[in-house]
């Protein structure tokens, strides 16, 4: 049964959380798959780099992590006070560095021009 995030994460109780994500259907995240003989070890560095990258974008410190063959563990510390200093543009820029976003947002941040506004002319279809 799912739990709403406001009940799952309580900043008043703790800023530290243990996060686990696991592969399904006997698939492998890293290491050698004994059934198929394939090696997925090349993914380990990619996952570690991605963890560091996302941590630098958002107000999350990585205290510890372990990348296993079919799952990973993270121990994180949230930094909510740091996020309070961000403007709306800061938040939008951080999200757009991870997610594509709607077309109007792509126009604002398109081609690396932070703060550029989308064209005001209407297009004809």
Residues present in the chain in total: 125
* Lowest pLDDT segment from 8-12, 28-32, 42-46, 106-110: 106-110
Q: What is the pLDDT of residue 22?
A: 94
Q: Are 21 and 59 in contact (CB under 8 A)?
A: no
Q: Are 32 and 75 in contact (CB under 8 A)?
A: no
Q: How far apart are CA 66 and CA 73, in angstroms?
A: 5
Q: Where are the domains of the chain?
A: 5-82, 86-112
Q: Which residues pair with 86 in a beta bridge?
A: none
pLDDT tens digit string along 8-25?
888 999 999 999 999 988
pLDDT tens digit string along 68-115?
989 999 999 999 999 999 998 899 889 888 888 788 877 776 654 444
Q: How far apart are CA 23 and CA 94, in angstroms?
A: 27
Q: Quick one: pLDDT band at residue 119, thresholds 50, 70, 90? A: very low
């Amino acid at each position: 049964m799912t739990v709403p995030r406001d009940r799952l994460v309580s900043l008043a109780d703790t800023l530290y959380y243990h996060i686990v994500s696991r592969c399904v259907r006997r698939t492998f995240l890293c290491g050698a798959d004994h059934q198929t003989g394939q090696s997925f070890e090349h993914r380990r560095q990619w996952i570690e780099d991605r963890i560091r990258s996302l941590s630098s974008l958002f107000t999350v410190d990585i205290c510890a992590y372990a990348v296993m063959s079919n799952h990973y563990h993270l121990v994180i510390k949230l930094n909510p006070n740091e996020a309070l200093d961000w403007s709306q543009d800061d938040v939008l820029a951080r999200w757009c560095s991870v997610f594509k976003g709607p077309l109007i947002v792509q126009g604002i941040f398109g081609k690396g021009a932070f703060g550029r506004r989308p064209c005001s002319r209407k297009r004809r279809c």
